Amino acid sequence: MHIDDAQVASELVDPAFHLDVLDELVYPAECGGAVPLASDPDNRYPYAYPRDIASITKAWLAAIDAGVRPTECCQRILDSARFLLAVQEESGQWRQRYALDGTDKGFYRQEDNVGHGVRILAHAISALDETERLDGVEDSLRRSIVDAIDRATAHIESDLFDPNAHLVKSTTSIHEGRIESGYTLWVNCTMIAALRRARDALSRVPEDTDALDERLSSFGSHLEAGVERAFTSTRELPRRYSPDGDIDVRPDVTLFAPFYFNLEDLFGDQLHGAIDRASTALEDPELGGLQRFMGFYGDFDVQHHGGNGPWMQYTAWHAQYRFAAGELERGDRILETIARYADREGYIPEHLTTRTRFEAFFDEEWNTRRDFEKEFDDATLRDVSFDLIAEELSHMKNAYRDLEAQTDERDAVRFAMPLAWCHAEFLTALFRRASSVEDGAR
């Protein structure tokens, strides 16, 4: 693959570069293990997010499968799992985000983080097994992982699953707003993927897990049947059902969920139709790349976070899909779009906007307090102290002032750089591409 842009570091096409960036963002945790922060500690997101960590450990697992730094990647996944074990609540929950000392810093509900925590633990078992280290780790660690999966699954089934709708209730970690209330495609796909990965992990450990596996199988079958009934019986794959059951077919990046979680067996051709809808509707006509959702700021459900524009991690999902489909040239063009907005060190931002959009955001949403009302909406907030909200507001203000300064120098401004999640998804896309090339050569 060739990236034709003198402003872009050539290292972007080297998996080792992205592994190095991720290493830079991993910090020892006071509560146990070591974990990647979303961004530099003095940047926008100085926290550990289970959502991000699940995506990062997925990328490390892909590196192991490709034979790239397998020992180091296995250790990174294991260290992340130790952190997740340390911060899991007795009820089985994981929250939105954590400080390095294990303090819960989350203020949104985001039920899907329970599924992400299970996926991280399952990734650790897979990594240990695939590097032939599973029998060598202490028995207590394997038992702790099995127990954590057991408690998390019980929480999903008893507290999050609605037996009448046959779906998991959700406010997801993808959009963080009222648009996520009800029963979303993303959360339900996350939970199915978590249950499947958990069963795969349990099949690898020497401990007797038959009873837990049977429960996972029973509940998983029930949830999958509910998801298939609710989401594939419609003409278009919906992104959610609202709390009162209204169908929501607005295109957004969560339509990639069936692909992202490898659920084609459940969704069939609807998976491909959903991605075609999303990639067409969300392509930024000015900057390229995928927006999270269409940018109608008057919709209270929609938050622009400094101005609507493409998000690099979701754009990388699109590249992954095209590579998986064997569309190498199209996938390459998508990665080139991401690379175009990296800085000279190769660091990838979270998302982009333009000077005009940022100024409109400031005038229409920030200065009017409308953004505050969207960000801290009671429909998605947990019962947390205002100190935590004030801390988040400070991070938001600093990030927006940084964007404001950027508008003096360029029309396209970049938000939160480097973002670990973006590098993980770009890395996964590179491995997807290599696999597609290998398959085509056979």
Q: What is the pTM of this model?
A: 0.93
The answer to whether 170 touches 107, Cβ cutoff 8 Å, is no
Residue owning tokens 């396209």: 412
> Cα 323–328–331 angle (5° rounding)?
65
How far is residue 434's CA from residue 442's CA, in Å, rounded to a whole number? 13
pLDDT tens digit sequence for 201-259 = 999 999 999 999 999 999 999 999 999 999 999 999 999 998 889 999 999 999 999 99
DSSP 3-state assignment of 34? strand
Instruction: Tell me how long the chain is.
Output: 442
In 21-93, which ranges are E strands?
26-28, 34-36
In this structure, the dihedral spanned by the alpha carbons of residues 321, 322, 328 and 329, taken in order and rounded to 10 degrees, is: -140
* pLDDT reported for residue 8: 44
Name 337's Cβ contacts closer than 8 Å, sequence gap at least 6: 288, 289, 310, 315
d(CA 24, CA 41): 11
Q: Are 195 and 216 in contact (CB under 8 A)?
A: yes
Q: Under a CB-based contact definition with an 8 Å cutoff, are residues 348 and 329 in contact? A: no
pLDDT under 70 in the chain at which residues?
1-9, 172-173, 175-178, 296-303, 441-442
Is 104:98 a contact under the CB 8 Å cutoff?
yes
* Closest residue by Cα to residue 116 from 71, 167, 55, 70: 55
Cβ atoms of residues 112 and 173 within 8 Å? yes
What kind and span of H or E run contains 52?
Answer: helix 50-66
Give the Cα separation of 356 and 299 in Å (integer): 19
CA nearest 353: which of 289, 424, 425? 289
State residue 298's pLDDT score: 64
Provide the 10 A C-beta neighbour count for residue 143: 12
Domains of the chain: 10-441 (1.50.10.10)
The number of beta carbons lying within 10 Å of the beta carbon of residue 196 is: 19
**Which of 173, 56, 48, 57 lies closest to 102, judged by CA?**
48
pLDDT on residue 397 = 79
Of the candidates 174, 35, 42, 196, which has an alpha carbon nearest to the alpha carbon of residue 111?
174
Cβ(338)–Cβ(314) below 8 Å: no
Helix, strand, coil percent values for the chain (each to nearest 5)? 55, 10, 35
Looking at the chain, the number of H-run helices and the number of E-run strands are 16, 9
Q: How far is CA 304 from CA 174, 176, 266, 364, 411, in A?
A: 13, 11, 32, 11, 17
Question: Cα–Cα distance between 9 and 340 in angstroms, integer?
Answer: 9
